[in-house]
Amino acid sequence: MPSRVSDLITIDARWDRPLVERCFRLEEASVILCMPLSQHGCPDRLIWHYTRNGLYSVKSGYLVAQQMETNGELRRKSGGQSSTEDEKDSTWADLWRLEVPPKLCHFIWRGCRNILAVRNNLRRRGIRINIGCPLCNEEVETQVHLFFRCPFVRVFWFGSPLQLDVVTVEGGDFLECWKSLCNKFGDLQDAGHFIRWVSCGLWRIWKCRNSVVFKGILIPPCAALELLSQQVWEVVNSGGKTVQQPRAKQQPAREIQGFWLKPHFRTMKVNCDGAWCNQTSVGGCGWVVRDFVGIFQAGGGMGNLLCGSSLMAEAEAVRMAMLACVELGVEIVQVETDSKVLVDMIKGDLLTDAALEGILWDVKALRQQMRVVEFLFTPRACNRVAHQVASYVMHVEGSHIWVGFEPEWLFNTLAFDVNITIQL
Ligand SMILES: [Zn+2]
């Protein structure tokens, strides 16, 4: 067992993921892995993590004490749960070995922890909303109701190749139901295959539910089943990872959308953007360097980054873009992002979030390595190129870099930004 935080960090300034996952409960490990580390030696400091800037105030202390009193944590504190408690239960370890994309493992993990944003959970967190199930409007939307008891999902599960009668899935919470399903299919010859259907099924129900909540579109069970089959097929054929092609065809009308502005003479401009999914805490970053005529010089990005917030993904994008500029030998650069908050933090007009300190420290260190660096805010509509790269890497995952020639799917957006009407 490592005794210091530095023991959990590798020599190239990254979390030692396997070690972190071995030493902590999964919930703790996932929070730790979401903390960005400085690659340029940002000094440590003690912070009060209940405020965004890490500074203690009497007001925030009082609020925390009040909250702990209300939910009984003050009294429970002495008992404490140990990190080893879950280790006896193989359910948690098995979860991360499922042959499905990481976002699905994370989704099921959140379900087992009862932290999916179903209405009953939101209400528990003090958000005043209607708690009725959006699919049937009959019962309270708890996780168990949504995934196993709602009339909609009973049809869905029964119609799936599993032919599952969810009445037989016993359990008072999601975790128990999940275990019940694992027991049911776990002993079968092709257990992995069945569990994959179950995992994708749960995910599909969540997508259907979100479609009703956020778009007002109810997807009938038969259509949901078709999407389910398609997804399982994709997962099987990509060895557990889903790959989606970016949607490059959507060209917004010029007049409603803003314009990207070219940098000054002999200046490069790097546009940065972060993409982030709050359900999985997985993000991606994209950046694109163009010269003063608007010609593509280089671009790149990275998917499957664990981030605690969308702002963190934006900050990661800026750090990554600046590192790339230093490596490419760029001397005079405008760094453009569509996060006003981030630009204000970098410029010192806004107190830095404690969680971003490591990244912003590196941004300052990288800034020293170039001659002139200017940070600019731009509306999202003028940051389409970086946005497209970020979405791309988020879908295909991994690290990508293009130097000299842009990837084909980016051409139309680049051309649009410089007002060229050629279309690929
Ligand atoms: Zn329902």
In a domain, 203, yes or no: yes
In a domain, 46, yes or no: no
Q: Tell whether 21 and 124 lie within a shared domain.
A: no
| Residue 246 structure tokens | 């970016």
Closest CA to 99 of 90, 112, 108: 108
pLDDT at position 72, please?
65
Instruction: Compute, in angstroms, the gap from residue 178 CA to the centroid of ligand 1.
Output: 18
Average pLDDT, the chain: 85
Lowest pLDDT segment from 112-121, 173-182, 231-240, 311-320 = 231-240
- The confidence band for 421, taking pLDDT boundaries of 50, 70 and 90, is low
pLDDT at position 145, please?
96
In a domain, 364, yes or no: yes
This model's pTM is above 0.85: no
Helical packing angle, 102-112 and 174-186, nearest 10° = 120
Instruction: Compute, in angstroms, the gap from residue 224 CA to the centroid of ligand 1.
Output: 15
Instruction: Compute, in angstroms, the gap from residue 229 CA to the centroid of ligand 1.
Output: 23
Closest CA to 299 of 401, 378, 370: 401
| Long-range pairs, 79-85, Cβ under 8 A, ≥24 | 81/25, 83/23, 83/24, 83/25, 83/28, 85/25
Q: Tell whether 277 and 396 lie within a shared domain.
A: yes
In a domain, 250, yes or no: no
pLDDT at position 242, please?
45
Instruction: Compute, in angstroms, the gap from residue 162 CA to the centroid of ligand 1.
Output: 21
Instruction: Compute, in angstroms, the gap from residue 16 CA to the centroid of ligand 1.
Output: 42
Q: Tell whether 210 and 304 lie within a shared domain.
A: no
In a domain, 249, yes or no: no
DSSP state at residue 262: P
pLDDT digits (tens, 9 = 90+) for 339-356: 999 999 999 888 888 889
In a domain, 41, yes or no: no
Instruction: Compute, in angstroms, the gap from residue 172 CA to the centroid of ligand 1.
Output: 16
Domain with 338, as residue range(s), is 268-417
Q: Tell whether 406 and 285 lie within a shared domain.
A: yes
**Pairwise CA distance, residues 420 & 401, whole Å:** 24
Mean pLDDT for 8-12 is: 84
Give how far the C-alpha of residue 46 lies from the chain's centroid of Cα atoms, to the nearest Å: 27
268 membership: H or E segment, kind and range: strand 268-277
**Pairwise CA distance, residues 303 & 370, whole Å:** 26
Instruction: Tally the domains of the chain.
Output: 3
- The confidence band for 154, taking pLDDT boundaries of 50, 70 and 90, is very high
Whether the predicted pLDDT of 377 surpasses 50:
yes
Mean pLDDT for 111-121 is: 89
DSSP letters for 39-69: SS-PPP----TTSTTS---HHHHHHHHHHHH
Q: Considering the chain, what percentage of its residues have pLDDT values greater than 90?
A: 43
pLDDT at position 254, please?
39
Mean pLDDT for 111-130 is: 86
Instruction: Compute, in angstroms, the gap from residue 220 CA to the centroid of ligand 1.
Output: 14
Closest CA to 313 of 272, 343, 373: 272
Q: How many residues are there in the chain?
A: 424
Instruction: Compute, in angstroms, the gap from residue 408 CA to the centroid of ligand 1.
Output: 45
pLDDT digits (tens, 9 = 90+) for 251-295: 444 333 467 899 988 899 999 999 998 888 889 999 999 999 899
Domain of 357, CATH number, reads 3.30.420.10
Whether the predicted pLDDT of 83 surpasses 60:
no
pLDDT at position 424, please?
57
Q: Tell whether 119 and 14 lie within a shared domain.
A: no
Instruction: Compute, in angstroms, the gap from residue 174 CA to the centroid of ligand 1.
Output: 15
Q: Tell whether 274 and 373 lie within a shared domain.
A: yes
- Domain finish residue from 187, 216, 237: 237
CB 287 within 8 A of CB 322: no
- The confidence band for 103, taking pLDDT boundaries of 50, 70 and 90, is confident
Q: Tell whether 213 and 309 lie within a shared domain.
A: no
Q: Tell whether 108 and 177 lie within a shared domain.
A: yes
Q: In terms of pLDDT, which residue wins out, 241 or 146? A: 146
pLDDT at position 257, please?
47
pLDDT digits (tens, 9 = 90+) for 409-420: 999 999 888 876
Instruction: Compute, in angstroms, the gap from residue 136 CA to the centroid of ligand 1.
Output: 4
In a domain, 291, yes or no: yes
In a domain, 158, yes or no: yes
Q: Tell whether 219 and 286 lie within a shared domain.
A: no
Q: Tell whether 181 and 283 lie within a shared domain.
A: no
Instruction: Compute, in angstroms, the gap from residue 375 CA to the centroid of ligand 1.
Output: 48
CB proximity list for 377: less than 8 A, separation 6 or greater:
336, 337, 338, 339, 340, 343
Q: Tell whether 342 and 384 lie within a shared domain.
A: yes
Whether the predicted pLDDT of 380 surpasses 80:
yes
CB 350 within 8 A of CB 344: yes
Whether the predicted pLDDT of 243 surpasses 50:
no
Q: Tell whether 272 and 169 lie within a shared domain.
A: no
